[in-house]
Chain A
Amino acid sequence: MSLESLVEEKINQYSLPNGVVLRLEDLSVVYKMPRGFARVVDNVSLDIFEGKITGLVGESGSGKSMMAEAILRAVPRPGRIYGRVLFRSKKYGVVNLLSVPKKVLRDIRWREIAMVFQGAQNSFNPVIKIKDHFIDTAKAHGWDDREAVLEKASQLLELVKLEPDRVLDSYPHQLSGGMKQRVLIALSLLLDPYVLILDEPTSALDTISQKVIVDLLKDIHRKLGITMIFITHDLPLIAGLVDYVAIMYGFKIVEYLSIKELIENPLHPYTIGLIRSIPPLHGDLRMARPIPGSHPDPINPPKGCRFSPRCPLASNECFKKHPDMIKINDEHWVACYKWEKVKERDPWAD
């Protein structure tokens, strides 16, 4: 029995609605620690829309990187993943990435879903040239034609606005941080994936390099139409790029909304606080203020709503149970008991 048919038998049990390429169902990542169990991703359910760019925004330690790593089953040991990650694969149909055989997963990684990891600028092999990174990657995925790989690499490097001839023949240390990051984006596109996950791809870079990368991703998205998930703590950075934003707080998604809704109608007190906490370049500085308190600990998170200890609107019910996601409209979901109150009045007003 071939691998494909083996998988086919298992996969027909799953389906995904049109326009959804990736669905997380009750996804959790758990670490066993001496002090207890740390649920660093806690029962997250989320649909990623096909051909759209989704920003996953949260503070460091909110679980956003773990969530992305769980999608590709790449969570560092000894973390355990629970739940389901349904993915519409072109080759295998709708599969649960958490239960497919390793061989299938390997086939899907990079070919269908590629990921640019955090701090990946340091993941180059310092003693081999950039072109060998492309060749080795292709070889690892069963593509042995050197000439064709280099041809494709040149095209991709041009796409990320680098000079192919110069860069392919360079060693990693000869490139600046911004250039390395662009090489990595080109490398991630080598096998024509149609989902690209980027974990903090700009966090170590200067303002100008950041802007270059964001513009580049916009350009790639326009040309290739691939689905992108952009993980960051920097909301303004991605505001001009993304179609949807998922706000993560305390290991859960607390609000999921289109960029239009984020601008016009944010409803979670945390989302509003986050927008407010960032000093504007041109606007009124008096509006900028921090969110009091600090992010919860994964081992002993607040009992009720994860944000309740810091929330100005929190009342009895908020301290009992974390709220479920409520659908506000076709492009807006929020997990808050007080969302109607937020609509009436700014929760952070004095």
Chain B
Amino acid sequence: MIKIGEGDFLKLENIHVHFKIRRGLLKRLFIVRALEDINLWFGRSSVLVVVGESGCGKSTLGRVVAGLQSPTMGRIYYKGKPIDKLNKKEYLEYRKSIQLIHQDPYSALNPAKTVFDILYAPLKYWGIVKSKDEAIDKVLELLEAVKVTPPEEYIFRYPHQLSGGEKQRIALARALSVKPKFIVADEVISAIDVSLRIDLMNLMIDFWKKYGIGYLFITHELASARYFAELTNGLIAVMYLGEIVEAAPPSELIHNPLHPYTKALIAATPELILDLSKLKSTKELPLKKVDIPSAIREIPGCKFNTRCPYARDECFKIKPKLINVGKQHFVACHMVNAS
């Protein structure tokens, strides 16, 4: 079990999500293992940053945490109580306290509604405001909080009148409107420019500092993952084909990666090194194959064995367990486990 932070907020125990799909003329049944045996324990105000390629199950994990996807196996506990045992009031509190920001800000906002309408809807639903006048003040306050300024100028705009970064801030404001304790941020920075990402991350980190909001921050970009996790005392978890293969505090993960997949991700992450000879040298990616295998393919043993340059006999037969190697560093690899 990977425990993040102090206290008991949300616990995922042994979570599996399998999708059944039918493919081809004969409609053969395939099983997509989107999540396999995920064990995570979030404390209060805890931050977990999840990195991985498309199709690794990181968005599915986000949906499970936000309560939008029920696991096909395993249990979720909210403040120590299994969520299927929560009474109605507790369940509503659980749903309200965890909010999700979607991947694509362009389709997450209704194009026919103004910023005010978008932010008013949750305020009204949860009974946070009594009247429209009160709502206007509240919406202005939210816009101010996410630094969309001057708020008066934005409140009656439509989504198409906003830039990508501004849309993302509105989505953040919507998540904040119900005063959540935890936000699942699914690839919120990938649709905006590299140079603007840090601005949005700083804003989210401020909410962690000020209001103690915890995050499940999902990204495919390791440098941003490190930035977010390091400034929030969080952990980074690396996912591969539905499994967590390594997890550690950011500086430990970047400077002392143990899983071959994490090493490949680090090697692939571009960095503006201020040294010309280092910049120009091309290092081969430490991968046997560059492409991720199809999600419907059954891979016995370690799932990374099709791309791992170090794969040995046992890697094709036995699935490695996620073990704690100390200092909050977890890894699932036979090579590491042996040594």
Contact = CB atoms under 8 A, between A and B. Distances in A.
Given A61-B163, A208-B285, A234-B194, A279 B270 contact: no
A281 interface: yes
Contacts of A214: 270
28 contacts: A59-B196, A60-B164, A207-B220, A207-B222, A208-B53, A210-B268, A212-B285, A235-B194, A236-B223, A239-B270, A239-B273, A260-B276, A263-B276, A274-B195, A275-B272, A277-B194, A279-B198, A279-B201, A279-B224, A279-B227, A280-B271, A281-B222, A281-B269, A282-B254, A282-B255, A285-B226, A285-B227, A290-B198
Interface stretch (B2-10, B286-294, B324-332): B286-294
A208 B254 contact: no
Interface stretch (A17-25, A143-151, A175-183): A175-183
Of all A-B residue pairs in the complex, the 7 with the closest CB atoms, nearest first, are A211-B268, A279-B227, A290-B199, A236-B270, A277-B195, A236-B272, A281-B223
Contacts of B221: 207
A166 B292 CA distance: 16
Interface string B247-263: 00000001100000000
Given A60-B193, A277-B194, A280-B271, 15 more contacts: A176-B291, A207-B222, A207-B269, A208-B287, A211-B269, A237-B270, A239-B270, A239-B272, A263-B274, A264-B276, A278-B198, A279-B201, A280-B223, A285-B227, A289-B198
Contact of A211 (B192, B195, B198, B285): B285
Contacts of A218: 282
A165 B317 CA distance: 31
Nearest to A232: B194
A238 B279 CA distance: 10
A278 B194 contact: yes
A159 B19 CA distance: 37
A113 to B, nearest CB: 26
B275 interface: yes
Interface string A274-298: 1101111111010011110010000
A101 interface: no
B196 A290 contact: yes
Contacts of A283: 271
B231 interface: yes
A100 to B, nearest CB: 35
B217 to A, nearest CB: 13
Contacts of B231: 285
Interface string A82-93: 000000000000
Contacts of A280: 223, 271-272
Contact of B193 (A59, A263, A279, A281): A59
Interface residues of B, number: 47
Nearest to B268: A211
Contact of B271 (A177, A208, A215, A281): A281
B198 A233 contact: no
B202 interface: yes
A282 B279 contact: no
Contact of B279 (A179, A263, A294): A263
Interface in A288-327: 288-291, 294
Given A206-B53, A206-B220, A235-B194, A263 B275 contact: yes
A209 interface: yes
Contacts of B226: 279, 281, 285
Contacts of B132: none
Contact of A234 (B270, B287, B291): B270
B265 interface: yes
Contacts of B40: none
B268 A208 contact: yes
B224 A209 contact: no
A111 interface: no
B221 to A, nearest CB: 6
Nearest to A175: B291
B223 A239 contact: no
B264 A259 contact: no
Nearest to B226: A281
Given A207-B220, A240-B270, A263-B274, A281 B254 contact: yes
A73 interface: no
Contact of B292 (A176, A211, A215, A234): A176
Interface string A17-36: 00000000000000000000
Contacts of A179: 291
Contacts of A282: 254-255, 271
A288 B290 contact: no
B72 interface: no
A239 B272 CA distance: 6
A119 to B, nearest CB: 12
A59 B194 CA distance: 8
Interface in A250-270: 259-260, 263-264
Contacts of B194: 233-236, 277-278
Interface string A50-69: 00000000011100000000
B291 A178 contact: yes
Interface centre among B194, B273, B282, B292 (most CB of A within 10 A): B194
A140 to B, nearest CB: 30
Nearest to B193: A233
A264 B273 CA distance: 11
Given A176-B292, A236-B194, A288-B198, A281 B266 contact: yes
B272 A208 contact: no
B4 to A, nearest CB: 20
Contacts of B199: 277, 290
A214 B271 CA distance: 13
B195 A291 contact: yes
A109 interface: no
B280 A240 contact: yes
A18 to B, nearest CB: 25
